[in-house]
Amino acid sequence: MRLGPLSKTAGSILRHIPLSMWPQIISRRTGVLTPRAMTPLPHPASSGGANIKMLFEFLDRTASIDGGVAECGVWRGRTLVAMSLYLKQHGSSKKVWGFDSFAGFDGDVPHNFQDSSLRLVQQKLSIFGLQNAKIVPGYFRAAFPVVEHERFSFVHVDCDIHDSYVECLNFFYPRMNPGGVILFDEYEDPEWPGAKDAVDEFCGHHGIPIQSAMVDNYRKSFITRSAAQEPAT
């Protein structure tokens, strides 16, 4: 991404243009995922990363539910910045919390995400004037207590590995308001089998139905916090 005086000017113009209208080239230049940058998959699949149209649909669906938005797994802010700007452009007062170690993964993984960058994400938030987003850097275990007393309407879990999924589910599910949604980016993604294991274990234990959504042949899974369910322990 080219960040500098020109980007600051561009950012101050782009922030007023609905994200759905941004040409694909702008999405690529800014590193902000937008609807026109999404190429439909040739057939239904649970791999391929996040589809921003689906994230926007869930933000709309949960707009009337009290509570903030969170993303667990920010990497370079492609989806976090898009969600923050989308909410701002729609006049929402919701706060967006972003969690990432910005260290990526060691060892034998399909992608190590070691090109994560807190500085880059903060620069992007700054050029688009986004004060509704708050990044909490660090490993989830240490970072989540910052929002211990918050409640949430939508959480995007995009952190790939089993143990991280377990931490997200244990922490966020009890903090979802009724009707709130937790969307899983990697459920049934063959590259990250630990995600499905973690969700199946948690949902099986608590009797939570796993639902499915599809946009552009991107198939993702999610759970909804029902009013009847007791907080998970």
Ligand X SMILES: C[S@@+](CC[C@H](N)C(=O)[O-])C[C@H]1O[C@@H](n2cnc3c(N)ncnc32)[C@H](O)[C@@H]1O
Exactly one of 140, 152, 202, 222 binds ligand X (CB under 6 A); that residue is 140
Stretch that binds ligand X, among 9-17, 120-128, 156-164, 209-217 (CB under 6 A): 156-164
CB of 230 to ligand X, least distance (A): 26
Name which of 65 and 143 has its Cβ closer to ligand X. 143
Minimum CB separation from ligand X for residue 23, in Å? 19
Q: Indicate the DSSP class of residue 84.
A: H
Q: Which of 19, 27, 59, 100 binds ligand X (CB under 6 A)?
A: 100
* 146 scored as a contact of ligand X (CB under 6 A): no
Q: How many residues does the chain have?
A: 233
Any contact of residue 196 with ligand X (CB under 6 A)? no
| 46/101 with CB nearer ligand X | 101
One-letter amino acid at 177 equals: N
Question: Looking at 40-48, 101-109, 174-182, 213-221, which segment touches ligand X (CB under 6 A)?
Answer: 101-109
CA atoms 109, 113, 134, 27: torsion sign:
negative
Among 12-20, 100-108, 127-135, 223-231, which window interacts with ligand X (CB under 6 A)? 100-108
- Residue 91 is classified by DSSP as T
Q: Cβ of 97: how many Cβ atoms within 10 Å? A: 22
Q: How far is the CB of 42 from ligand X (least distance, A)?
A: 21
Q: Answer for the pair 232, 170: CB distance below 8 angstroms, yes or no.
A: yes
Q: CB of residue 41 vs ligand X: minimum separation in angstroms?
A: 16
Angstrom distance (rounded) from CA 62 to CA 67: 9
73 binds ligand X, rule: CB under 6 A: yes
Question: What are the two backbone dihedrals, phi and then psi, of residue 156, each rounded to the nearest 5 degrees?
Answer: -100, 110
We find the least distance from the C-beta atom of residue 226 to ligand X, in angstroms, to be 26
> What are the counts of helices (DSSP H) followed by strands (DSSP E) for the chain?
8, 7
Report yes or no: 182 and 223 within 8 Å, Cβ to Cβ.
yes
Task: Supply 61's token pair.
Answer: 């669906």
Q: Does position 164 bind ligand X by CB under 6 A?
A: yes
Say whether 21 sits in a helix, a strand or coil.
helix
Q: Which residue's CB is nearer to ligand X, number 1 or number 103?
A: 103
Q: b/e string for 128-139 if b means 16 or more Cβ within 10 A? A: bebebbbbbbbe
**Residue 205 CB contacts under 8 Å (≥ 6 apart), including other chains:** none
34 is a contact residue toward ligand X (CB under 6 A): no
Does 135 bind ligand X (CB under 6 A)? Our answer is no
Give residues in contact with ligand X (CB under 6 A). Answer: 49-50, 73-75, 78-79, 100-101, 103-104, 113, 116, 139-140, 158-161, 164
